[in-house]
Structure 1
Amino acid sequence: MKRRSFLTGAAALAAMAVAGCGSKESGSPSAAASIDANTSATLTLAYWDKNQTPTVQANIKSFNAKYPKIKIQTNLTSYADYWTKMKTQAQGGELPDVMWMNGPNIQLYASNNMLEPLDSITSQGVDWKNYPDALVTLYTYDGKHYGVPKDYDTIGVFYNKDLFKQAGVEEPKADWTWDDFHDKAKKISDWGKSKGIYGCATTINGDGQGTYYNTIAQAGGYVIKDGKSGYDDPKSIEGLQCWADWIKDGSVASAKIVTDTKPDVMFENGKSAMFWSGDWMASQLAADLKGKEDKFGVIDLPKKEKKGTIIHGLAWAVSQKSKNKAAAIALAAHMSSKEAHEVEAKNGTAIPAFNDTQDAWVKAFPKWNMQLFIDAANDYAVTYPVSKNTDVWANKEADILVPAFDGSTTVKAAAKQMADFMNAELAKEK
């Protein structure tokens, strides 16, 4: 949920298409060639998380140690305003030279000729094998790379050891199953009913990344494949039905409950024993639960047919219309280096995408087994589902699926409605 942008659907796509109506050719082959140390240029770099400013500034400093005459102007915008501003800049052909890009938007910007293909960035030392395959795939469109992975997130289950103990329920163990999760959640909910305590409260009110995208994958289903929706696939329906079943018997708090009180608040206040969420919650939970960290734990997601977790993350992208494209690509390459990712790890706000640079991030949370998020990315991660205009169908998920989770309609009917809507929108992208 934290990673999703909310553009204005088809209208945004149309506006982008107008802005990108020029040549579809990428920049000149020499654009990615190594630049001279004395190159002079001014570049803009856009990002949205002020907590990562120290990382951004540190990596700009090391870049300037190599290229002292390249001036970097940073553009920090709140996440709420970032994509609105990007759309306006895209329409005017004035995107930042280098920018953060996310999964839901990569195909929209790439397909409308806003981003520079970065396959030739390998000449500057970038090797795609240094990043999780699923994340590299996420930023690949029409056979070309349009973003170099910066950081990533996978999903796990945070849990309250004290509530498990008080309810007389054994703590979860690695390789647990849906049945194990359901049994534990149900027992804790039954025990805590009079106290308003649930076995699990999570973002089931529309956050597929943290909830049903994962169970769909674990059941062997899919959200999108080959330009078609997978919502009406029997395995995908199974991955949705489990949430309706868990909510129906009280094992998991309903969408209404977690809309009224955020699930992280419920978890921190002892009103839920488990919380499905991404590694991005670690910093907040560690800060809010300071001094009590050993009373909490984290474990990998339960499995069904197989293990599965959605992987998403950010990437560095370059504007195709940059007036200093060679310098911009050099900056993106530097921000994607092992050196830059090691700084990212020390920052502690996100898992760096460069393989084998995550130790510092893991060690920032010594009380918890944070390695599981990295193992998940390397071993069984599933790429975040996207299309050219992701938000036009993703923003309908809550409207269509939540009523099924809460029992107002059947999961099968909602899945068919979602698939029909999605396929109609996907057809417009062709």
Structure 2
Amino acid sequence: MRKKWLGLGLSVILAAGIAGCGGSGNNGNGGAGNGKSDGSTGAPSAETGAPIQLKYWTDDRHDQEYIKELINKFNETNGDNIQVELTVMSENYTQSVDIAFSSNQAPDVLRLKSANTSEFVKKGYLAPLDDYLTDDMKTEFGSLLIDNVNRFDGKVYSLANTGLTMRLVYNKDLFAKAGIEKPPVSLQEMVDDAKKITEVGKSEGIYGFALNFKNPKQAFDRSIREILSLSGYQGLGFDLKTGQFDFTPYAQVIEYFKQMYKDGSILPGAESLDIDPLRAQFAAGKIGMYLSFSTEPGVYKDQFPTEINWAGALAPTLDGQIKGTSEIVSAGTWLGISARSAHQDAAWKFVQYMYGDEVLKTYHEKGFGIAIVPSIVEQAKNPEIGGMEGFLVGEHDSLWPAAPSVTPEGSTYADAFFKYILDGGDLKAVTADLNARYNAALSKAVEKGEITVTPDPAFDPSKPQGE
């Protein structure tokens, strides 16, 4: 399966017109310590006495114990008097990064994801890595350089590590208690199953469904995105065939979510629920199912150990038919260096250490993410971790082309749809308003040259990789 995924991933990149190896014309000698020559990057020196202090910020919690181990090892062995301090942020990571940069307290190294890299580059937060990349690194990671994901205007700002699959996470024991034989394959089945679980478990504080609705966008992006891509639609509301936003399919899914809310099948207080408290409730056997990423097996191994009998399965689709593929997300970025760091050379030494083969291989084998770097795919074993078998890349998983990121005037799609779930209203009007505002923002971004959109009338959602 790993070799099949390797071929699939490479064909996606070729189909998207992505260039292969190469950065932005640097001389290829790269390596640690060959950054800017004006002295502003703070080249490490073991002779200065005081250690060079680096701050690394991340919003990942599922892998924090492993990352702590890696940082401790680096701090003890790097030989350049560099000390890295890890900060694991809460759900307001992007906002915290904005505040840090505006107050000159930015970290030196940042965890980057597909959802934030573009904005961070536009805001000038990130330093290009091209002058640091060695020939070996260009060979190893070059086929995974994706325009508008980790490469912008010919400059590389991050390298790939893993991708995340998305699945329905469900409690097998609660399903059995409610007389449900298998996970739902359609949204109507999901609604019905959530109601059944709630009916048999409500007296014990058990409910059929939950999501981290404290942040509606994060909740929907780990659930509706998956449902839509398997149903044959781009999961963030963008129509790849027309090159326009169309939230009509999104609205169809929202109707089912609203029904679960109306039925009382959603865990009470979910409106203010963050992802970790949700996981704690699931580990305690209080939630029948939710949708999330392939980070969950690691969470229930280390962060919230549980004795419940749980598993991951493909998400349900709109009508029970699989007409697309499950999108593998966050598959182009991992670490980046702050453009404001006074110690960019030292930061690169840490980043280069983190991108070492043994680190990436172990990251995959421990189940923190699914490796997509070809050389790591070839040598890594399948993760031996409970529940991971339901998240491994299979025939229904693939990469999708990147959708444009725009900021509309007024509320976002997540806030508007979540308000509808809670308060009701005219869903057609809500959808039409979102389409108008998002396409207006898209037009403005295209006119300013910030975004390039090319409609693909022949796009096939069952083969987004172009095979």
Tell me, yes or no, if structure 1 residue 253 matches structure 2 residue 266: yes
Q: Please identify, of 185-194 and 266-275, the stretch whose mean Cα deviation from structure 2 is larger.
A: 185-194
Alignment partner, residue 87 of structure 2: 77
Alignment partner, residue 396 of structure 1: 412
CA distance in structure 1 between the partners assigned to 2:33 and 2:284 by the alignment: 56
Q: Please identify, of 122-131 and 406-415, the stretch whose mean Cα deviation from structure 2 is larger.
A: 122-131
CA distance in structure 2 between the partners assigned to 1:43 and 1:288 by the alignment: 28
- Pair 1:257–1:139, CA change in 2 (3 A): same
Alignment partner, residue 410 of structure 1: 426
1:106 to 90, 103, 117: 117
Counterpart residue identity of residue 55, structure 1: L
Tell me, yes or no, if structure 1 residue 213 matches structure 2 residue 209: no
Q: Please identify, of 152-161 and 370-379, the stretch whose mean Cα deviation from structure 2 is larger.
A: 370-379
- Pair 1:45–1:276, CA change in 2 (3 A): same
Q: Is the 8 A contact 1:263 1:275 kept in 2?
A: no
Alignment partner, residue 278 of structure 1: 293
- Pair 1:283–1:132, CA change in 2 (3 A): farther
CA distance in structure 1 between the partners assigned to 2:224 and 2:330 by the alignment: 15
Tell me, yes or no, if structure 1 residue 170 matches structure 2 residue 181: yes
Q: Is the 8 A contact 2:166 2:326 kept in 1?
A: no
Q: Please identify, of 257-266 and 70-79, the stretch whose mean Cα deviation from structure 2 is larger.
A: 257-266
Counterpart residue identity of residue 405, structure 1: I
Alignment partner, residue 362 of structure 1: 383
Q: Please identify, of 268-277 and 192-201, the stretch whose mean Cα deviation from structure 2 is larger.
A: 192-201
CA distance in structure 2 between the partners assigned to 1:263 and 1:101 by the alignment: 24
Taking structure 2 as the reference length, the TM-score comes to 0.65
- Pair 1:93–1:78, CA change in 2 (3 A): same
Q: Which SS does the other structure have where 1:305 is aligned?
A: coil
- Pair 1:29–1:134, CA change in 2 (3 A): closer
Taking structure 1 as the reference length, the TM-score comes to 0.70
Q: Which SS does the other structure have where 1:105 is aligned?
A: helix
Q: CA deviation at 1:400?
A: 1.0
Percent identity for Structure 1 against Structure 2? 20
Q: Is the 8 A contact 1:318 1:328 kept in 2?
A: yes
Q: Please identify, of 206-215 and 349-358, the stretch whose mean Cα deviation from structure 2 is larger.
A: 349-358
CA distance in structure 2 between the partners assigned to 1:332 and 1:153 by the alignment: 21
Counterpart residue identity of residue 47, structure 1: W
1:232 to 242, 246, 258: 246
Alignment partner, residue 46 of structure 1: 56
Tell me, yes or no, if structure 1 residue 298 matches structure 2 residue 317: no
Instruction: Tell me the alpha carbon deviations over residues 125-152 of structure 1, each in whole angstroms, 9 at most, x when there is no partner.
Output: 2258759969886333345432113454
RMSD over aligned CA atoms reads: 4.5
Structure 1 residues not aligned, in runs of 5+: 1-25
Q: CA deviation at 1:408?
A: 0.8
Q: CA deviation at 1:375?
A: 0.6
Instruction: Tell me the alpha carbon deviations over residues 378-404 of structure 1, each in whole angstroms, 9 at most, x when there is no partner.
Output: 932447866376xx7897344311132
CA distance in structure 1 between the partners assigned to 2:95 and 2:368 by the alignment: 24
Q: Is the 8 A contact 1:55 1:343 kept in 2?
A: no
Alignment partner, residue 465 of structure 2: none
- Pair 1:341–1:114, CA change in 2 (3 A): same
CA distance in structure 1 between the partners assigned to 2:349 and 2:286 by the alignment: 49
2:73 to 48, 51, 58: 58
- Pair 1:212–1:340, CA change in 2 (3 A): same
1:307 to 309, 322, 325: 325
Instruction: Tell me the alpha carbon deviations over residues 323-366 of structure 1, each in whole angstroms, 9 at most, x when there is no partner.
Output: 66566545433422322213434666555664428967821x23
- Pair 1:238–1:74, CA change in 2 (3 A): same
Counterpart residue identity of residue 158, structure 2: G
How many residues are paired up?
389
Alignment partner, residue 360 of structure 2: 341
Alignment partner, residue 34 of structure 1: 31
- Greater per-residue helix proportion: 1
